[in-house]
Structure 1
């Protein structure tokens, strides 16, 4: 091959089931790898969080304290802390590196189920969204609310910061996806304002795009500066649940999502073509997480399934 010819990417290796973890007694609502890749955690409607080793794929600890089901979790950037969002209207911050994995802080202020949560990159702020239709920004050190953002008219389904933490993107069952200024809580842009519920919205790793899921079986990639949608990903089923897709960047760039047909879907980010449909769960897959360094996917199934499954290439 001459120096002027671009190298062809290696052929795609399909993901295969590596391990099934049956820790939880109810639906598993969320699973996420830590940012350093050493750990992963799952949240469940059984009111617990489970903490696992990514190396041995074994349970390290069960985190108990919430009085109702847990809908979401997020890791601090240094992979030291987990924040969880619960139907008991609180958020809890847990020390994942302590031997007892203690709850170090409880954040109170929402008046409805807390459905979604994320840290900013410095991990000094947390953003949460609730069925009370508000977004709250919290100071991690004090546990106090910095802003209460009222801009949605139905439950907030998704909230996350952009990489530098200056912006927040939110989605809601009211059919809107909005971008907010973190410092002031002011709405800067409305990306979507439709009748179809927005179930998820997240900035891309480089912060230039936003991945948006809507309850019409569609994922779209938006350039948030222009407000234009550049790519569309379809084939999965998503009309009822808030399924949380993600980006895979370890071996090519892919979009990964669960589906109400009990499968996991992988699309080529640029080409939009479906790469793989992974079967194995026996209920809706609402959450997927991609390991930050290895070709590994974790997925979570609802009540008929209750498992966390680990998928690897060349298993």
Structure 2
């Protein structure tokens, strides 16, 4: 093997074999409480943090400091979400969830009426219809004009409905501790289907594809994709060794993130089921994970209070799907030769720049092939 080929291979291998913290972008902060949930705004300038200590904190991602912290509920905060309709955000805790407007000392709206702690909430894109799960074998539906008068729907499940999701046409998914999912028409309050989904409690639910498909995750360590019409499993996303705590789906609905008690985060191709990458940094349970709006990275939080920012560059996908092809094209190129006898420093620097441009061009090319293949799988 020629000398330049060996050098090139060493260069490529250092890029292809991911190090433990390779895509760790920033250790944002470590809070003094357990952060149960997080969310990031569309501008990627503010991070919401909901705590076990009943508090909601607002972290400024530009100034890298805590902007605001206040007691939002009389029990632990279990969910926080930026509003796409109002200039504010939602918090969920105790037996209620609330809409807060920026600068206001009191909630703009208080959604209540549950007899036990609300464990999860789902809402439509217009934020005019809400669903909540709790420690009962039922779920509740709220209209934004009557936040204190929910409609109560009893399920046939044997244990509490702790996870919920709702589509924009008011199709409701109710996930239970008994490992099943029931599907309901929220407009008529009629059950439309039941899924024997997992071997453990169903902890997370989210609709995709305009409500035609449903993603679920469980304490059995698996996430699954379901066809709503047939209630058949389309894909299974494995790899975690302990319960999944939370999931998030990229805006284009092509990639799934799973946070788990095994201290890792999984990145999956939704269409194929492939586990593309496993992020490792946290030393304790990862409790939540959220994509940024651009889909180029995400945030995670763990039980010890660490909040971390990660990158999801094109290279992650190219390394998984086209590593051999990328390696061959780089090996065949003479741009990666070591400095040659008689080659000036300036010429060598120019060649290094061209090599980097060539590499980025290859990554862009193979990333587009990845996206094209994913689109074909979705057909």
Q: Is the 8 Å Cα contact of residues 196 and 216 (structure 1) preserved in structure 2?
A: yes
Q: Which residue of 1 aligns with 2:33?
A: 26
Q: Is the 8 Å Cα contact of residues 299 and 308 (structure 1) preserved in structure 2?
A: yes
By how many angstroms is 1:116 displaced? 0.5
Rounded to whole Å, the distance in 2 between the matches of 1:35 and 1:124 is 20
Q: Closer, same or farther in 2 for the Cα pair 1:112/1:156, shift >3 Å? A: same
Q: Is the 8 Å Cα contact of residues 36 and 78 (structure 1) preserved in structure 2?
A: no
Rounded to whole Å, the distance in 1 between the matches of 2:17 and 2:83 is 32
Rounded to whole Å, the distance in 1 between the matches of 2:161 and 2:40 is 23
Tell me if 1:93 matches 2:99: yes
Q: Which runs of 5 or more residues in structure 1 are unaligned?
A: 1-10
Q: Which residue of 2 aligns with 1:225?
A: 229
Q: Which runs of 5 or more residues in structure 2 are unaligned?
A: 1-15, 314-379
What's the RMSD between the two structures over aligned residues?
2.6
By how many angstroms is 1:294 displaced? 4.1
Tell me if 1:135 matches 2:135: no
Matches within 5 A, 1:46-125: 46-53=53-60, 55-78=62-85, 80-86=87-93, 88-95=94-101, 98-100=102-104, 102-125=106-129
Rounded to whole Å, the distance in 2 between the matches of 1:179 and 1:300 is 31
Matches within 5 A, 1:7-46: 15-23=23-31, 25-34=32-41, 39-46=46-53
Q: Is the 8 Å Cα contact of residues 175 and 192 (structure 1) preserved in structure 2?
A: yes
Q: Secondary structure at the match of 1:144?
A: strand
Q: Closer, same or farther in 2 for the Cα pair 1:183/1:45, shift >3 Å? A: same
Tell me if 1:155 matches 2:160: yes
Q: Which residue of 1 aligns with 2:203?
A: 199
By how many angstroms is 1:54 displaced? 5.0
| TM-score, length basis structure 1 | 0.83
Instruction: From the two aligned structures, give the one with the greater helix fraction.
Output: 2
Instruction: From the two aligned structures, give the one with the greater strand fraction.
Output: 1
By how many angstroms is 1:133 displaced? 3.1
By how many angstroms is 1:176 displaced? 1.2
Q: Is the 8 Å Cα contact of residues 266 and 275 (structure 2) preserved in structure 1?
A: yes
Q: Is the 8 Å Cα contact of residues 211 and 220 (structure 1) preserved in structure 2?
A: yes
Q: Closer, same or farther in 2 for the Cα pair 1:222/1:101, shift >3 Å? A: farther
Q: Is the 8 Å Cα contact of residues 218 and 238 (structure 1) preserved in structure 2?
A: no
Q: Which residue of 2 aligns with 1:208?
A: 212
Matches within 5 A, 1:148-187: 148-151=152-155, 152-162=157-167, 164-187=168-191
Write the deviation string for residues 284-314 of structure 1: whole angstroms up to 9, x where unpaired: 1121111122412111212xx1222211246
Q: Is the 8 Å Cα contact of residues 137 and 160 (structure 2) preserved in structure 1?
A: yes
Rounded to whole Å, the distance in 2 between the matches of 1:312 and 1:170 is 32
Rounded to whole Å, the distance in 2 between the matches of 1:101 and 1:60 is 15
Q: Which has the larger radius of gyration?
A: 2
Q: Secondary structure at the match of 1:143?
A: strand
Rounded to whole Å, the distance in 1 between the matches of 2:309 and 2:198 is 36
Identify the structure with bigger relative contact order (alpha carbons < 8 Å, sequence gap 6+): 1
By how many angstroms is 1:169 displaced? 1.3
Rounded to whole Å, the distance in 2 between the matches of 1:41 and 1:205 is 27
Write the deviation string for residues 34-57 of structure 1: whole angstroms up to 9, x where unpaired: 456554312111101122345555
Q: Is the 8 Å Cα contact of residues 198 and 220 (structure 2) preserved in structure 1?
A: no
